[in-house]
Chains A and B, each alone.
Chain A
Amino acid sequence: MAIKITAPLSREDARKLKSGDSCLISGVIYTARDAAHKRLCELADKGQALPLDIKDAIIYYVGPTPAKEGQAIGSAGPTTSYRMDAYSPTLIALGQTGMIGKGKRGAEVVDAMKEHGAVYFGAIGGAGALLSKCIKKAEVIAYDDLGAEAIRRLEVEDFPVVVIIDSEGNNLYQKGREDYLNSIK
């Protein structure tokens, strides 16, 4: 049974989520990938304001295809998360509580998640058409020049994710694989 959660996500609620939980996210999330993360961290390093409210924010690592007429957004599945590893600890320290992507994360990210209370969600990689149905509204709020990599404010409804790494550092990639291999022994 999926857990319904609302975005923005408080630190307290983020800490309640456990690795392996299936969740449906509703509310407001933001998109950012490589180039936008670089810019956000450059601003943070200079102590300047970010173009989004990072406190309790969930950031979705996605660069969607252009929307056709009548669509809120084009196809919009997750991109591989490790490319954001250099930037995530900075944003988590500033208040980010959730990341949506796919693939492994570095130890520096997991340490920041444990220290501050944040979760790493996985969405199904390659399921961009399916996931786009849960995005009801999309609006570019920063870095329009980056095209697909611009920061978008998304309104999502029952967006399906799984907790891959929780705020205690438990990891579904390890456990899921071990459980399966044990089941066929």
Chain B
Amino acid sequence: MREIKSAQITEVIRRLCIEANCYLPQDIKNCIIESRKAEPWGTAQEILDRIIENYEIADSVPQPICQDTGVACVFLEIGQDVHIDGNLTDAINEGVRQGYTEGYLRKSVVRDPLNRVNTGDNTPAMIYTDIVPGDKVKITVAPKGFGSENMSQIKMLRPSDGVEGVKAFVTKVVEEAGPNPCPPIVVGVGIGGTFDKAAYLAKKALMRSTDERNADPYYADLEKELLEKINALGIGPQGFGGKTTALAVNIEKYPTHIAGLPVAVNINCHVTRHKAEVL
């Protein structure tokens, strides 16, 4: 049994919170640059240029790419042969507290959803854990802004709705969102599982690099087709019209019940942030 000290987890999370918020991942930069090359509409080209300029400034200062430095979504893949010494939840939240304070990041979490008082240190994190084989721990920090989170939706489709129903729902969610989630967006789609599992899969889909397509060719083709459908909507960067409404569509799937076809769409903005480290 390998031992990992909770203090190590805190230190990694502190650093990942700061780095994820200031340095846009290369896969997203590549998508933006490629979209700019393919964008035929003048206004849209200008906005994509400003978006590129923005992440370049963030890189060089460094400073947060966007003022909404998000809630800290922390994904842990914990090897089953690892023992963590100390309280894991506390260690994660301490990392978030230190990262958001020392990194001059915005504190955007309220203690209670109805009696809304800011916690002052951006804790607690949204923690997602997977137990996996091995003796390593993979930590991914994904700060999630709420302009795009608010535009996300879930629907329990009927099995008879099939793939056409999925396509229609995903496209409808993006169209209804329009300019609100800061397009160009990244679309995370979760298909299958249960009501909550589909939402989790949609969030997890946003963790995957946009350089990678779904390992299943059927779903890889579906990702490509959905991206084309979304980019035919004409919403464009910031919603001012243009080709570039989405940068990528990532789908995650899971087995489901004979009676169900849950579909969740988690929208992310062009500041789709995720940074991982393996301990």
Contacts and interface: CB of A to CB of B under 8 A. Distances in A.
Interface of A: 35, 62-68, 71, 74-77, 79-80, 82, 102-104, 122, 124-130, 132-133, 146-149, 160, 162, 172-173, 175-181, 183-184
Given A122-B240, A175-B241, 9 more contacts: A64-B67, A66-B106, A71-B63, A75-B63, A75-B66, A128-B65, A129-B66, A147-B120, A181-B241
A29 to B, nearest CB: 16
B50 A127 contact: yes
B273 to A, nearest CB: 11
Nearest to A69: B104
A99 to B, nearest CB: 15
Residue among B236, B238, B269 with the most chain A CB within 10 A?
B238
A43 B235 CA distance: 38
B182 A172 contact: no
B66 A128 contact: yes
Contacts of B242: 176, 180
Interface of B: 40-41, 43-44, 47, 50-51, 53-55, 57-58, 61, 63-69, 104-108, 116, 118, 120, 147, 150, 178-182, 234-236, 238-243, 269-271
A172 B67 CA distance: 25
A184 B234 CA distance: 10
Residue among B106, B236, B269 with the most chain A CB within 10 A?
B106
* B contact patch SS: loop
Contacts of B241: 175-181
A178 B239 CA distance: 11
9 contacts: A63-B68, A65-B105, A75-B58, A102-B179, A122-B238, A124-B54, A130-B53, A172-B240, A176-B236
A129 B239 contact: no
B63 A177 contact: no
A80 B106 contact: no
Nearest to B239: A173
B54 A127 contact: yes
Contacts of A183: 40-41
